[in-house]
């Protein structure tokens, strides 16, 4: 009987040793630190249990799609541009200046109507006047100046200056200046026709050549709506707008001018004479 108990005890001890050896082998294979031991049988038992529980390996990141990974990247703040300063009725926006210009006057019927509209919107313009018209209506020349507008020369009789001889060209400029009452600071050659000879003749007198970049073609009388649309759709800060207050029926021009002044003023534009004139 004692022999059987002794054999059973030996077998149990051997089993314990095998089990402990297996545990230590597993711990070493997993790279885990050895168990912390404490004195006494109870301490050794706790250490054996703890080491027998495999340590959880460090979690590996789950592969993510490029789109999902991009969501985690730091993003630059979106900067929205400030809205443009919007002008309202009776208010102008700094830098929004346009230059209204009128050719072929002064005309006793149309020039006063143009002046009235400009005054209503507190707008100023530049009038390029023909010498023969200015000589016939000197009171209108004075009226234009008195309203704060500028006057430039537009030849004596609307001739193409590029087709004239130098003496003829000089005569056109001289006679126009006399009719205007003073030498203009700028000249607009009829039809915008300018070559080296014309430019030299003008600049040698201390004057400048003034052209345009928004052509309403109002002299073709396409209708007030078409004239206004041309100006409103093409005007930008600094635009020089060509219209006419003489040379024919300018009723459409007057109607269009009212629309132009109202619409562009509501967008913050103000209207000034050409600075070189």
Catalytic residues: 103, 244
- Give which of 214, 190, 186 is closest to 132, Cα–Cα: 190
Closest by CA position to 28, among listed 49, 54, 59 = 54
DSSP string for residues in 21-70: HHHHHHHHHHTPPPPPP-SSHHHHHHHHHHHHSPPPPPPPPPP--HHHHH
Q: How many CA atoms lie within 13 A of 145 on its CB side?
A: 14
d(CA 6, CA 17): 17
Q: Are 277 and 148 in contact (CB under 8 A)?
A: no
Question: CB of 252 within 8 A of CB of 113?
Answer: no
Would you give the distance in Å from CA 60 to the centre of its chain? 51
Instruction: Select from 33, 27, 75 the least CA-distant residue to 54.
Output: 27
Eight-state DSSP code of residue 114: H
Lookup result for tokens 């294979």: 29
Which residues lie below 8 Å from residue 127, measured CB to CB, with a gap of 6+? 101, 102, 105, 106, 111, 144, 149, 150, 151, 152, 245
- Give phi and psi for 211, each to the nearest 5: -110, -140
């Amino acid at each position: 009987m004692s022999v059987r108990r002794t054999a059973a005890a030996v077998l149990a001890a051997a089993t314990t040793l095998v089990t402990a050896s297996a545990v230590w082998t597993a711990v070493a294979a997993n790279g885990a630190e050895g168990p912390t031991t404490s004195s006494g049988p109870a301490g050794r038992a706790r250490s054996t249990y703890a080491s027998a529980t495999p340590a959880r390996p460090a979690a590996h990141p789950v592969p993510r799609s490029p789109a999902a990974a991009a969501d985690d990247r730091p993003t630059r703040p979106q900067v929205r541009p400030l809205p443009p300063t919007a002008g309202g009725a009776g208010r102008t926006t700094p830098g929004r200046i346009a230059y209204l210009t009128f050719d072929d006057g002064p005309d006793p019927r149309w020039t006063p109507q143009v002046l009235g509209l400009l005054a209503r919107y507190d707008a100023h313009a530049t009038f390029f006047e023909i010498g023969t018209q200015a000589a016939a209506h000197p009171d209108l020349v004075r009226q234009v100046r008195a309203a704060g507008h500028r006057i430039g020369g537009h030849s004596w009789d609307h001739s193409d200056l590029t087709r004239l001889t130098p003496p003829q060209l000089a005569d056109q400029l001289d006679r126009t200046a006399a009719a205007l009452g003073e030498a203009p600071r700028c000249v607009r050659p009829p039809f915008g026709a300018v070559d080296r000879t014309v430019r030299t003749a003008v600049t040698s007198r201390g004057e400048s050549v003034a052209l345009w970049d928004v052509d309403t073609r109002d002299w073709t009388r396409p209708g007030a709506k078409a004239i206004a649309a041309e100006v409103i759709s093409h005007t930008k800060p600094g635009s020089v707008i060509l219209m006419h207050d003489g040379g024919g029926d300018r009723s459409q021009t007057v109607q269009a001018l009212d629309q132009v002044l109202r619409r562009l003023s509501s967008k913050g534009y103000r209207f000034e004479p050409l600075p070189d004139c």
